[in-house]
Amino acid sequence: MALFEKTFRISSETRVLDVGGSPEIWRYARVRPSLTLMNLPSALVANTGELTQVAGDGRMLPFRDGAFDIVFSNSVIEHVGTRQDQQSFASEVARVGRHYWIQTPNRRFPIELHLMMPLVHRLPKPLARAIVKRFTVWQLLEKPTEPQRAFYINHFLNELNLLDAGTLQSLFPAARILTERTLGLAKSLIAVRT
């Protein structure tokens, strides 16, 4: 969040759309921008106080061209579906925001960050399926109910579409790609248009 604020010199007047976000991440901001949270209806949070929330889909943003100074999205684009769905998401971000900050886990990082499992995302689907249906580090940490676990595993196996730097760059050709590193390895990628 500090790098985001420094990159854009955020003020309380900066109009920010957070696509797929929630209020929690903004607690780490030193300056609260003029913030609109947009998420699927089931993911909206009750009692957010002064925050504006809008139900919607990141592939069809319900805002006019250039409506926001910055579009922010943290670990969402890998969840929207196919590459075509991701392209629609990227096009909509570029349409409604003069600038953007789109973060996603790096597909080339050796640990799959959603399930917290080493190399499982690089295995053939049948082998990955056999492993994650039995065990994940995520389930040890989160202790989900069985329906939650089944939903999340199904999402990982059938809908999650991780990106690497080249793919992210192709989706956001006007952006520069930043990396967040852990132990010298590129853990996450950020498409930034300033």
- pTM given for the model: 0.92
Which residue's entry shows tokens 């790609």?
177
When the pLDDT of each residue in the chain is averaged and rounded to a whole number, the result is: 94
Average pLDDT (26-55) is 87
Average pLDDT (25-45) is 90
* pLDDT at res. 48: 67
* pLDDT at res. 51: 82
* pLDDT at res. 4: 95
* pLDDT at res. 189: 98
Domains and CATH numbers, the chain: 2-109+160-193 (3.40.50.150), 115-159 (no CATH)
**What does the pLDDT look like over 48-92, one tens digit per residue?**
677 899 999 999 999 999 999 999 999 999 999 999 999 999 999
Helix crossing, 146-158 with 125-132: angle to 10°?
Answer: 170
CB atoms inside a 10 Å sphere around CB 171:
22
* pLDDT at res. 114: 93
Please report, rounded to a whole number, the percentage of residues in the chain having pLDDT higher than 90: 89
Q: How confident is the model at residue 97 (pLDDT cuts 50, 70, 90)?
A: very high
Q: 82-116 in b/e burial notation, b at 16+ Cβ within 10 A?
A: eeebbebbbebbbebbebbbbbbbbbbbebbbbbe
167, pLDDT greater than 70: yes
**What does the pLDDT look like over 105-138, one tens digit per residue?**
999 999 999 999 999 999 999 999 999 999 999 9
